Structure 1
Amino acid sequence: MFGLDWESLIWIAIGFGGQGLFMMRFVVQWWSSEKAKQVVVPVAFWYFSIGGGLVLTVYAIHRNDPVFTFGQALGLVIYFRNLHLHYKGKGRAAAS
């Protein structure tokens, strides 16, 4: 297929898998907002962001693409921080 060897095809599948995970965050956010009839960012959004971001970062490193690697790696810091803030806020709400 396209003159690619098996290793290349596997890495392309990994890249598409990461992109699929990353896309799912928008589907989950859209679906949650439609159900609530207002803009909602569910916690699953951040988990899909992390999953997709991790896979795409590994893929970008494999491709030796510093721009793609930096962009995905920086996003991971933000996604983990948002999850931290989410759970920290839940702890404060429970303590009140």
Structure 2
Amino acid sequence: MMLTREALWLMVGFAGQIAFTGRFVLQWLYSEYKKRSVIPTSFWYLSIVGSTLLFAYAIYRQDPVFIAGQAFGSIVYLRNLQLIKKSKDLKE
């Protein structure tokens, strides 16, 4: 069975949305586990995956509002991962 281009892009969009929503579920469950508000490193990785997929989908849909909304996020998420790594390196 061959997927149409539209069906493939819908899958990309939904995968991005699932990853992006999954990061909030992950943060919530992790915070409940720790009994305090915590953002695990995997939150930022899911943010990058979700943001990148949604950005690609927004470009495909040629939606300037959606593109603008997703364009900046990955920079912030990558910077947070750099800060986490730097913090861990200082502790060693």
1:54-79 per-position Cα deviation (integer Å, ceiling 9, x unaligned): 10010011111122112112011110
Partner of 1:33: 31
Residue 72 of structure 2: SS of its match in structure 1? helix
**1:47 partnered with 2:40:** no
Distance 2:58 2:27 in 1: 25
Q: What is the CA–CA distance in structure 2 between the aligned matches of 1:74 and 1:8, rounded to whole Å?
A: 25
The amino acid of 2:47's aligned partner reads S
Higher relative contact order (CA 8 A, sep 6+): 2
Aligned residue number for residue 8 of structure 2:
10
Runs of 4+ in 1 over 6 A off after TM superposition: none
The equivalences for 1:48-67 within 5 A come to 48-67=46-65
Q: Which runs of 5+ in 2 are unaligned?
A: none
Q: What is the one-letter code of the residue matched to 2:6?
A: S
Say which of 4, 10, 17 aligns to 1:19: 17
Gaps of 5+ in 1: none
Q: 1:31 Cα shift?
A: 0.9
The AA in structure 2 aligned to 1:68 is F
Q: Distance in 1 between matches of 2:32 and 2:67?
A: 33
Q: Which amino acid aligns with 1:90?
A: K
Q: Which AA in structure 2 matches 1:43?
A: T
Q: Which residue of 2 aligns with 1:90?
A: 88
Mapped to 2, the partners of 1:43 and 1:14 lie a distance apart of 23
Partner amino acid, structure 2, of 1:61: I
Counterparts of 1:44 and 1:73 in 2: how far apart (Å)? 20
